[in-house]
């Protein structure tokens, strides 16, 4: 059986994590891989319903995600995890717990994310409707040594995905 791996996309809200994950998925499937995308919003709704956005709740949520990623990756699945995952300690926890963990920092400034604002979160934060938005209101600890940085202010979607694919090929995780 082929070994699985976990591509953990971390970055601010609106940086492009989900968009990249959805574009990366079919590319990995074309290479004959079994792929699962774990997306922050979907998983929160189905696995972490009722949890808030305190540090403790975020860590609980991400430990659950890590457990699912661990089960999938150890069974040969290529997992694409798209989560803000704002704290370094929880990303390190995920690295230690899973098979072939690849941390991809989807880098984008708060200003650029606020301009994109695909879910209207930055607008809600600036009007006071949200009080804990990662970036402008709550802590985001940038990765100190990610396996890869994809700067979505400089790279378009195709270039971002190609950069990740090249890294996965370099690491040898996409080979049969």
| CA neighbor of 68 nearest in space, from 4, 2, 137, 136 | 4
Only one residue has tokens 């430990």, namely 63
The half-sphere exposure of 149 on its side-chain side, counting CA atoms within 13 A, is 10
3-class secondary structure per residue, 109-127 = CHHHHHHHCCCCHHHHHHC
Q: Which residues are catalytic?
A: 85
Q: Residue 163 phi/psi, 5° resolution?
A: -65, -40
């Amino acid at each position: 059986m082929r070994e699985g791996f976990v591509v953990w996309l971390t970055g601010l809200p609106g940086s492009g994590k989900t968009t990249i994950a959805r574009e990366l998925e079919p590319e990995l499937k074309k290479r004959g891989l079994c792929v699962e995308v774990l997306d922050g919003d979907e998983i929160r709704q189905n696995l972490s319903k009722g949890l808030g956005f305190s540090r403790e709740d975020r860590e609980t949520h991400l430990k659950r995600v890590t457990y699912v990623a661990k089960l999938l990756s150890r069974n040969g699945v290529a997992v694409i995890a798209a989560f803000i995952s704002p704290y370094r300690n929880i990303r390190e926890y995920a690295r230690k717990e899973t098979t072939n963990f690849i941390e991809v920092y989807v880098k984008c400034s708060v200003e650029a994310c606020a301009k994109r604002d695909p879910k209207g979160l930055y607008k809600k934060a600036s009007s006071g409707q949200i009080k804990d938005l990662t970036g402008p209101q709550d802590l985001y600890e940038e990765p100190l040594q990610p396996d890869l940085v994809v700067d979505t202010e400089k790279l378009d979607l195709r270039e971002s995905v190609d950069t990740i694919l090249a890294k996965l090929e370099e690491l040898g995780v996409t080979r049969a």
